[in-house]
Amino acid sequence: MAASPAQPITPELRAWIIEQAATGISAPALIDAMTHSGWREEVAVDAVEQVLRGHLDQLARQQGLPPAAAVPEPALDESPRWLDAGDRQVEVLMSLANPRVVLLGNVLSQQECEALIAAARPRMARSRTVATATGGEEVNDDRTSDGMFFQRGESELLQRIEQRIARLLHWPIENGEGLQVLHYRPGAEYKPHYDYFDPAEPGTPSILRRGGQRVGTLVMYLNDPPKGGGTTFPDVFLEVAPVRGNAVFFSYERPHPSTRTLHGGAPVIEGEKWIATKWLREREFT
């Protein structure tokens, strides 16, 4: 599989990449093999990404899945330790490719966490979820928390955090919903669910008129519950501990379980949990 760095992606190379990936060889291992064969690393990375993404899109079409959409994405191509979020440096703690999950540290300061809780506390009410059957909202037994929504940009604090998120995830501010703050008391939880809107539900078209599908989620932890309250991803047996100032980001390029973004809020065992969630849409959210 020798190749010169300038060589285009040939049918033979495409078939080799797909064949190797199908046997379980990881993308980094494929890139390493290509660089040892004479490819420049950046060319090998682009070739592997292009071939595998195209192959997955082809498989999705064959299976009748919805088309893939552009998604928010931190700049992780060179495996940086820190990301520039404008007014602060954000730490990259963990990155998972499938599903796309990135754990980030130092997203919010202690003072910002406390200020969000203080601003949200007087406005808390029993959490509601979007009712895709009708396009409205409803109380859901799977979500036993209290919550509230800020309007986008309603305060200097919100504006600062929204600008930071936009820069961090390379996604326009106007494509984000207003920040939601949730409060979980002992025993409260949010059972596993998807954040995208189910295309099969009758109320989804009216929801999508406000900005298209959700394509990404950022969950920011505002305090440190002593036990429980993690964010779980059952499809990959991953649980993210809630640590004040940290955040977990995940994206989903199509509204389908193939994204493996099933997730939930584990029950709080001791203490309480406060989080702030930012949902990101395909287009401007109005």
Is the confidence at residue 283, as pLDDT, over 50?
yes
Q: What residues are paired with 233 via a beta bridge? A: 238
- For 43-56, the pLDDT digits (tens) are 888 888 888 777 66
Residue 49 to residues 31, 44, 198, 255, Cα–Cα distance (Å)? 10, 8, 28, 21
pTM value is 0.79
Tell me whether residue 111 is in a domain.
yes
Is the confidence at residue 70, as pLDDT, over 80?
yes
- Range of the structural domain that residue 35 is part of: 11-62
- Do 131 and 266 have their domain in common? yes
Burial profile 73-82: b = 16 or more Cβ within 10 angstroms, e = fewer? ebeeeeeeee
- Do 126 and 218 have their domain in common? yes
Tell me whether residue 229 is in a domain.
yes
- Do 146 and 238 have their domain in common? yes
Is the confidence at residue 17, as pLDDT, over 80?
yes
- Do 129 and 213 have their domain in common? yes
- Do 52 and 105 have their domain in common? no
Tell me whether residue 4 is in a domain.
no
* CATH classification at residue 232: 2.60.120.620
pLDDT score of 4 = 44
User: Could you give the number of structural domains in the chain?
Assistant: 2
- For 129-184, the pLDDT digits (tens) are 665 665 556 556 667 789 999 999 999 999 999 999 999 999 999 999 999 999 99
Tell me whether residue 77 is in a domain.
no
- Do 133 and 239 have their domain in common? yes
Tell me whether residue 75 is in a domain.
no
- Do 225 and 91 have their domain in common? yes
Q: What six digits make up the tokens of 73? A: 């994405």
- Do 55 and 89 have their domain in common? no
Return the percentage of the chain with pLDDT > 90, whole number: 66
Is the confidence at residue 117, as pLDDT, over 70?
yes
Q: What is the pLDDT of the chain when averaged over all its residues? A: 89
Tell me whether residue 57 is in a domain.
yes
Q: List phi, psi (to 5°) of 85.
A: -105, 20
- Look up residue 267 and give its DSSP letter: P
Is the confidence at residue 278, as pLDDT, over 60?
yes
